[in-house]
């Protein structure tokens, strides 16, 4: 088991954002967490890093209890996050952004890892000396993913990678997710409001509502589930704006 969250609660002041969630990710899996805006998806990812700290429950990563570890110790253990809204460094070049992703990595790997990223995203090699802020939204998302991969994580966390992207880039991002998993064995926890794409790309999925897991199953099962269809596909409220 790569990740096991059991009975995890988290709060922001009086807001009870996670109310006892059980989520697991096995080695080599793509797992998706879908849910409406405000359901607690980002909180769940951030709670893995202790931001906010789980107020109850346990988080086991790669055989070790990380519930009370410091954020930087957790990152060092091999969890890498592509945050909501990408958060690349706009004034730095593409290359500098990638180097920032490698600060925790062995410098001896830098060259070969850059080559791997450019093979995955050839556009980043073309744009290598360009300031990251001048890239299109889709290119910035690719850069954010590549930057996260530069630390050679065991578990990659993606927070709404398709949000606000043009359809062509959405397709490319989900292709990349499949390719990373299938060809590179990357274990991925993917958060999305775009339930259709996410469930098709994932082995398994969970539905989060008001801080609670209300459904789980294989991607296929959830795609076929009447509740998921009504709420998150076919223009349901959870898919608002999609
Ligand atoms: N930094 C914060 N401070 C206070 N409340 C927050 C903060 N971040 C999120 N929340 C609240 O926690 C709940 C879950 O938010 P979030 O995890 O961002 O949901 P999602 O990612 O599913 O849209 C929401 O009610 C949101 O308003
Ligand atoms: Mg969010």
- Domains, the chain, ranges and CATH? 3-78+154-239 (3.40.50.300), 88-153 (no CATH)
**Mutational test site, ligand 1, from 13, 15, 48, 208, max ligand atoms within 8 Å of CB:** 15
Instruction: Indicate which atom in ligand 1 lies nearest the CA of residue 44.
Output: 17
Please state, for a pLDDT cut of 90, what percent of the chain lies above it: 90
**Average pLDDT for 90-106:** 94
Ligand 1, atom 8, residue with closest C-alpha: 43
In the structure, ligand 2 is a single-atom ion and the residues with CB under 5 Å from it are 41-42, 84
Which pTM does this prediction carry?
0.94
Q: Give the mean model confidence (pLDDT) for residues 199-227.
A: 96
The pLDDT of residue 55 is 97
Counting other chains too, the contacts that 11-17 makes at CB distance below 8 Å and 24 or more residues apart are 11/52, 11/55, 12/43, 12/52, 16/211, 17/43, 17/52, 17/211
Q: How far is the CA of 192 from the centre of ligand 1 (A)?
A: 15
In short, whether 42's Cβ falls inside 6 Å of ligand 1 is yes
Residue 12 near residue 52, CB atoms below 8 Å: yes
pLDDT at 11 over 80: yes
Residue 242 confidence (pLDDT): 38
The CA angle 178-59-68, to the nearest 5 degrees, is: 130
The counts of H helices and E strands in the chain are 10, 10
Contact (CB, 8 A) for 121 and 146: yes
CA 129 to centroid of ligand 2, rounded, Å: 31
Q: Of the candidates 198, 184, 179, 195, which has an alpha carbon nearest to the alpha carbon of residue 228?
A: 195
């Amino acid at each position: 088991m790569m990740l096991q969250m059991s009975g995890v609660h988290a709060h922001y002041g009086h807001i009870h954002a996670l109310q006892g969630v059980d989520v697991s990710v096995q080695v080599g899996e793509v797992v998706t967490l879908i849910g409406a805006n405000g359901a607690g998806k980002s909180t769940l990812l951030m709670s893995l890093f202790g931001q906010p700290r789980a107020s109850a429950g346990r988080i086991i990563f790669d055989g070790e209890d990380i519930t009370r570890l410091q954020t930087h110790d957790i990152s060092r253990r091999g969890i890498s996050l592509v945050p909501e809204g990408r958060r690349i460094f706009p004034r730095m070049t593409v290359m500098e952004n990638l180097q920032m992703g490698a600060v925790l990595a062995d410098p001896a790997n830098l060259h070969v890892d850059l080559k791997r990223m450019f093979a995955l995203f050839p556009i980043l090699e073309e744009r290598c000396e360009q300031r990251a802020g001048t890239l299109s939204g889709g290119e910035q998302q690719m850069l954010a993913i590549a930057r996260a991969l530069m630390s050679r994580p065991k578990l990659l966390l993606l927070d709404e990678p398709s949000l606000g992207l043009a359809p062509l880039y959405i397709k490319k991002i989900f292709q990349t997710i499949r390719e990373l998993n299938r060809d590179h064995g990357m274990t991925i926890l993917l958060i999305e409001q775009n339930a259709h794409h996410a469930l098709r790309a994932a082995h398994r999925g969970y539905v989060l509502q008001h801080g609670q897991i209300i459904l789980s199953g294989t991607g296929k099962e959830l795609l076929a589930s009447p509740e998921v269809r009504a709420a998150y596909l076919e223009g349901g409220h959870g898919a608002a704006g999609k």
